Amino acid sequence: MPQPSPRHEIAHLGHVELFTPEPEKSLDFFVRVLGLTENGTDGDSVYLRTWDDYEHHSLKLTAAKTSGVGRTAVRASSEEALKRRVVALEERGLGVGWVDGDTGIGPTYLFRDPDGHELEVYWETERYRPPEHLRPALKNQAQAYPGRGVGVRRLDHVNYLAREAEVNGRFICDALGGRVTEQIRLDSGVISGQWTHFAQKSYDIVYTTDWTKSNGRLHHIAFATDTREDILRAADIALDNDVHIETGPHKHAIQQTFFLYLYEPGGNRIELCNPTGRLIFAPDWEPVTWTEAERAKGQAWGLRTIESFHTHGTPPVA
């Protein structure tokens, strides 16, 4: 019997674990400045959620000796899809095994991408039930708008650094059923960046080349806002709270995302983004390829890409 296509067997990005050597300061940043809500603890980790993600948490903030990314979780589209993706991962020799899921999620399969980043896939999940003081007026909303800080709406994407972007992007497509929406091809022919997605949102997991040739590092994680104006307001909030603004507000040429990049106190890069409603509906979408010359022009409206955008990653390399 032919196997079903892996397309749409991963529903969406679930949550990301972020390591920080400054746990108290990082927690204050995510709660007070970005507007996330605490939703429990587990040892050295704090669970945080945006106001319209439907699951238990969007971010797992873990105290550690250095910055960087821990496990990234993706949710399967069914119990059967989970089992099929596990088989596909084991066939590629990148499966680690079944582990107890974080609070709020059920049986979880741990695996690694070719670069060594840890990911996990699950199906069973706990839908968030807000306490009375966070109950929204509209029952189709996960939580009341917090009215605090930036007020980010949802976790949007994770951008990994990798030795070989194309190898890892191909893994996301072949093993998890993702699809490349846009990419950068250098004059040498090397693919230096790939943007992959699972559903209609234009990207969920991104790989860009790590100039240090290290493995398993993070470029940034991103949270989406309701509007582009929220990004402008976020820049003022960052200024008032002595948060380092790396670049922006501006608009990317790739994916046309309106953006602001910040460093949280632990040293990790955080993007605040608004995709301006851009969705991918075409079932036969072909990747948009950007040349080295096109990328040298900078961002959409001419802003030059700041040098640290190519050199800063976490954990830092000595």
Which residue in 121, 142, 164, 147 sits closest to 15, CA to CA? 121
Give tens-digit pLDDT for 215-224: 999 999 999 9
Q: Is residue 286 domain-resident? A: yes
Q: Are 138 and 109 in contact (CB under 8 A)?
A: no
Q: Domain tally for the chain?
A: 1
- Count CA atoms closer than 13 A to 168's CA, side-chain side: 31
Cα–Cα distance, 28 to 22 (Å, whole number): 10
Quote the domain boundaries for residue 212: 10-310
214, part of any domain: yes
Q: How confident is the model at residue 7 (pLDDT cuts 50, 70, 90)?
A: confident
What local confidence, expressed as pLDDT, does residue 82 receive? 97
Write down the residue that tokens 């976020």 correspond to: 234
What average pLDDT does this structure show over 213-235? 97
Q: Which of the four pLDDT bands, split at 50, 70 and 90, describes residue 313?
A: very high
Q: What proportion of the chain, given as a percentage, has pLDDT over 70?
A: 99
Q: Give the domain CATH number at 69.
A: 3.10.180.10
Torsion-angle region of 116 (φ positive above 0: left; ψ -120 to 50: alpha; else: beta): left
Q: In the structure, what pLDDT confidence band is assigned to residue 3 with cuts at 50, 70 and 90? A: low
Whether the pLDDT of residue 1 is over 70: the answer is: no
**Residue 237 pLDDT exceeds 90:** yes
Token look-up 């966070």 returns: 134
Residue 275 — very low, low, confident or very high, per pLDDT cuts 50/70/90? confident
Q: Is residue 5 part of a domain?
A: no
* Alpha-helical regions (H) of the chain: 23-28, 79-91, 165-176, 228-240, 292-296, 308-311
Starting at the earlier edge strand, list the strands of the sheet with 179-185. Answer: 244-251, 258-263, 269-274, 217-224, 154-162, 205-209, 191-197, 179-185, 288-291
- CA 190, 192, 195, 198 torsion: positive or negative? positive
Which H or E run contains 223?
strand 217-224
| SS3 of residue 151 by DSSP | coil
Assigned domain for 2 exists: no
Residue 1 lies in a domain: no
- CA 81 to chain centroid, in Å, comes to 22
CB distance 206 to 166 below 8 Å: no
pLDDT in tens, 87-134: 999 999 999 999 988 999 999 999 999 999 999 999 999 999 999 999
